[in-house]
Amino acid sequence: MNKNFTIQETDRIIEMAWEDRTPFEAIRFQFGISEAEVIELMRSELKESSFKLWRKRVNSGVSQKHLKKRSEEIQRFKSSRQRIISHNKISKR
């Protein structure tokens, strides 16, 4: 992979890749890297055991890392919890 990301960008990519509900297509949209490049980044940045756990989970079918595996259509990349958060404070219920 020939892209140089800042530490913050690398951390965000890893965070997005680790989360099951964030598809690889969202990572491509935001950072312009393919699934193979995400895998390469994860392999280089994570401990070997953590990488193996992540790959096993992504390949097991439990993960929804691919839009094709999802039953619902994604219109935007926004957390469903984001609407109740305002100015970095969780709103009172």
* pLDDT for res 19: 87
Residues in the chain: 93
Mean pLDDT computed over 63-75: 58
Note whether 50 and 6 are within 8 A (CB): no
45 CB neighbour count, 10 Å cutoff: 14
Please report which confidence band the pLDDT of residue 60 belongs to, taking 50, 70 and 90 as the band edges.
confident
In the chain, where are the structural domains located?
A: 7-90
Residue 9 pLDDT exceeds 80: yes
**What are the pLDDT digits (tens) for 16-59?**
998 888 888 899 999 999 999 999 999 999 999 999 999 988 88
